Amino acid sequence: MRIALAGAGAFGEKHLDGLKKIDGVEIISIISRTGEQAAAVAAKYGAKHSSENLEDALARGDVDAVILCTPTQMHASQAIACMNAGKHVQVEIPLADSWADAEAVVAKQKETGLTCMVGHTRRFNPSHQYVHNRIVAGELNLQQMDVQTYFFRRKNINAKGEARSWTDHLLWHHAAHTVDLFAYQAGKIVQANAIQGPIHPELGIAMDMSIQLKSESGAICTLSLSFNNDGPLGTFFRYICDTATYIARYDDLVNGKEEPIDVFHVDVSLNGIELQDREFIAAIREGREPNSSVGKVLDCYRVLGDLEKQLAT
């Protein structure tokens, strides 16, 4: 499986690290905003080609699939361009920053029949897989999720603290993780409400947001998001179930008493990004729909679109 990666920033390198652990995968091309960065990352990971232009990678006959870690605003158009070029594509979360664009990507996937997957990593983290497996087995039912997504980003910086050329978004990016995960664990979302704090005068986005969700099963979710939090950073999930309570922190899991739960045997790795990439490669090889395909995550973007309309009014 021959891969091109576009967007060689902090998250792009996480994918490249995961891909190196998958048998039969070759990293062919690195695309980045500057030729210098693309060449440096290509040298680090042994890619034979680098460029500033995605079109250069799409024109190559030795590229089977593309992973997009580019700015949010490019995701939908670039995913469609990849499929138009006959390439399978995994686009990092979010699939799009509008409901219409999300629908357009799904339409293109149906037209081409190619694998198109979205990086909803929470479906793959061993911590969330553990809870999902118990729900599917009928061992517990989710009653409530309490989620905190907290970062300190009063300037445009990435996960490495480096300057970022685009503006991140609490609703379309960070809330997407939880909206999709809640539906994955509790069923279709039938009610959603949102409020937001003041708009940042320079970034032009809300720095604080609160979202409430309810699923068809009756379970509820409360999600708090902030770019103003100067403290422990990341996303923390509390699952309140009828027979157990769990707290998930990315790939780690504890119970309500903070006692660690062994998730070592949940999957072949403890790294959610690697597991996400393994699913993408396996789905292409096996000719099947992947977990977190555009079709499976589309309803998340319906909810985000509805919430955006609420916030606009």
pLDDT in tens, 54-78: 999 999 999 999 999 999 999 999 9
Residues 2-119+273-290, CATH architecture: 3-Layer(aba) Sandwich (3.40)
For residue 155, pLDDT over 80 is answered with no
Q: Give the domain ranges of the chain.
A: 2-119+273-290, 125-266
The CATH T-level fold of domain 125-266 is Dihydrodipicolinate Reductase; domain 2 (3.30.360)
- Please give the structure tokens belonging to residue 16: 């490249």
Can you give 23-41 as a three-state secondary structure string?
Answer: CCCEEEEEECCCHHHHHHH
Q: According to the model, what pLDDT value does residue 233 have?
A: 87
pLDDT digits (tens, 9 = 90+) for 291-307: 999 999 999 999 999 99
Rounded Cα distance, 311 and 108, in Å: 29
Rounded Cα distance, 131 and 56, in Å: 42
Q: According to the model, what pLDDT value does residue 158 have?
A: 58
The CA-atom distances, in angstroms, between 114 and each of 6, 96, 110, 132 are 18, 18, 8, 27
Using DSSP, state whether 257 is helix, strand or coil: coil
pLDDT digits (tens, 9 = 90+) for 222-274: 999 999 999 888 999 999 999 999 999 989 999 999 999 999 999 999 999 99
**Arithmetic mean of pLDDT over the chain:** 95
Q: According to the model, what pLDDT value does residue 156 have?
A: 65
pLDDT digits (tens, 9 = 90+) for 2-29: 999 999 988 999 999 999 999 999 999 9
> What is the percent of the chain where pLDDT is above 90?
89
Assess whether the region 2-119+273-290 and the region 125-266 belong to the same CATH fold: no
pLDDT band for position 51 (cuts 50, 70, 90): very high
Predicted TM-score (pTM) of this structure: 0.94
pLDDT band for position 167 (cuts 50, 70, 90): low
Which sign does the torsion angle of CA 168, 171, 174, 177 carry? negative
pLDDT digits (tens, 9 = 90+) for 185-214: 999 999 999 999 999 988 888 999 999 999
Could you tell me where the beta strands, DSSP code E, fall in the chain? 2-6, 26-31, 49-51, 65-68, 88-92, 116-119, 142-150, 189-196, 208-215, 220-226, 234-241, 245-249, 252-255
141 or 166: which leads in pLDDT: 141
